[in-house]
């Protein structure tokens, strides 16, 4: 008996086996969910389809979340194949490298719009298109980061995009609540994924995190996966509009020191 037996989940954001979306897919599948995937076109055949096959999944469709027609296509195909949807996972973000290197004050109009479109508006677009397919106990889960609330060096425009994403979670929760659909975010500690690799100063802050976080360890995609199972399942039946910290307790610290 799994917590998600008979449930159907569509997961956006797998790039490789380090992706948070992949950790979530494995965890949902282990609890009995049927999973399907959508990712950017360039990753589909080489990266995503082989991973999907490991979970017996063959719904693997391309979608650039900036493209409304592409979003519509994915959900049309899903509906034709499976009818309805119980779990929507949004685990994607993007900002231009140059906007994560310099100072926030340098952010261009274009760079700001791009980061917010891909990283925040896409949750609204995907959720709206999924709405007619959602079952009455459906759950939407997205991924955020502490840089939404407090300044994290170099996170810059992504911090602003995550603040918009977290506010969107609350507004969506109120819109969808009367239908029984819940919307929540997981705020994960730093994890070494493709999106984190090569980011200026990431390695240093990853090491510091382990030294100061109350649990004295880093967070992994398995930790995020099990919390996603909780938010996707009826175990969290009265939780919506929430940000759940999966960060070893880091966010409760006032002054992070090795001794605290
Ligand atoms: P990742 O690189 O594995 O995943 C990011 C995904 O975003 C990729 O699959 C990429 O293809 C996708 N993406 C980018 N632009 C897209 C577009 N236009 N259309 C469709 N997909 C697009 O990295 P990850 O760390 O697993 O990131 C997943 C989520 O977790 C992101 O929202 C990220 O902000 C969040 N997050 C990451 C960390 C961390 O430290 N890694 C911490 C907290 C939150
Ligand atoms: O949300 C993220 C990753 C966001 C991200 C990362 C990149 C790097 C490569 C979005 N877009 C891009 N674009 C690229 O070209 N995280 C929470 C991981 C992360 O990213 C950081 C961090 C942390 C933590 C960037 C700067 C500082 C800290």
- Ligand 1 atom at minimal distance to the Cα of residue 20: 26
Kindly state the average pLDDT of the residues 115-144. 99
Which pLDDT band, with edges at 50, 70 and 90, does 260 fall under?
A: low
Kindly state the average pLDDT of the residues 134-138. 97
Q: What are the domain boundaries of the chain?
A: 8-247
pLDDT digits (tens, 9 = 90+) for 69-106: 999 999 999 999 999 999 999 999 999 999 999 999 99
pLDDT reported for residue 53: 98
pLDDT digits (tens, 9 = 90+) for 45-59: 999 999 999 999 999
Q: 68 alpha carbon to ligand 2 midpoint, in Å?
A: 24
Residue 155 annotated among the catalytic residues of the structure: yes
Q: 206 alpha carbon to ligand 2 midpoint, in Å?
A: 13
Which pLDDT band, with edges at 50, 70 and 90, does 247 fall under?
A: very high
Catalytic residue, chosen from 155, 171, 206, 245, is 155
Tell me whether residue 64 is exposed, middle or buried, using C-beta atoms within 10 angstroms of its C-beta: 0 to 12, 13 to 18, 19 or more: middle
**CB within 6 Å of ligand 1 — which residues?**
13-15, 19-21, 39-40, 43, 64-66, 91-94, 118, 143-145, 188, 190-191, 193-196
Share of the chain above pLDDT 90, in %: 97
Query: Domain 8-247, CATH 3.40.50.720 — does that match?
Result: yes
Residue 32: how many other CB atoms lie within 10 Å: 14
pLDDT reported for residue 257: 87
- pTM tops 0.85: yes
pLDDT reported for residue 198: 83
Judge contact between 188 and 247, C-beta under 8 A.
Answer: yes
Question: Which tokens is 252 given?
Answer: 């409760």
The span from the CA of 103 to the CA of 161, in Å, is 16
Q: 1 alpha carbon to ligand 1 midpoint, in Å?
A: 31
What letter does residue 113 receive in the DSSP assignment?
Answer: H
Kindly state the average pLDDT of the residues 175-197. 98
pLDDT reported for residue 205: 93
Mean confidence (pLDDT) of the chain: 97
Kindly state the average pLDDT of the residues 154-159. 97
Question: Which tokens is 187 given?
Answer: 């705020």
């Amino acid at each position: 008996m799994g917590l998600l037996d008979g449930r159907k989940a569509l997961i956006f954001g797998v790039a490789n086996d380090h992706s948070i979306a992949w950790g979530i897919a494995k965890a949902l599948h282990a609890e009995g969910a049927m999973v399907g995937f959508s990712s950017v076109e360039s990753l589909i055949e080489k990266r995503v389809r082989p991973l999907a096959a490991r979970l017996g999944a063959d719904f693997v469709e391309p979608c650039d979340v900036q493209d409304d027609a592409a979003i519509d296509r994915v959900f049309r195909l899903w509906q034709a194949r499976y009818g309805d949807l119980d779990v929507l996972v949004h685990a994607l973000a993007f900002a231009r490298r140059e906007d994560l290197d310099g100072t926030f004050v340098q952010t261009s109009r274009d760079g700001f719009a791009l980061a917010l479109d891909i990283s925040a508006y896409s949750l609204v677009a995907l959720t709206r298109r999924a709405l007619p397919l959602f079952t009455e106990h459906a759950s939407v889960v997205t991924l955020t980061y502490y840089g939404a609330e407090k300044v994290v060096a170099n996170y810059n425009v992504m911090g602003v995009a995550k603040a918009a994403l977290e506010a969107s979670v609350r507004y969506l929760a109120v819109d969808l609540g009367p239908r029984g659909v819940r919307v929540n975010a997981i705020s994960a500690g730093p994890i070494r994924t493709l999106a984190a690799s090569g980011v200026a100063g990431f390695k240093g802050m990853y090491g510091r995190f382990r030294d100061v976080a109350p649990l004295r360890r880093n967070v992994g995609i398995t930790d995020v996966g099990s919390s996603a199972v909780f938010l996707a399942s009826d175990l969290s039946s009265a939780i919506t509009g929430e940000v759940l910290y999966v960060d070893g307790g880091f966010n409760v610290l006032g002054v992070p020191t090795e001794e605290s």
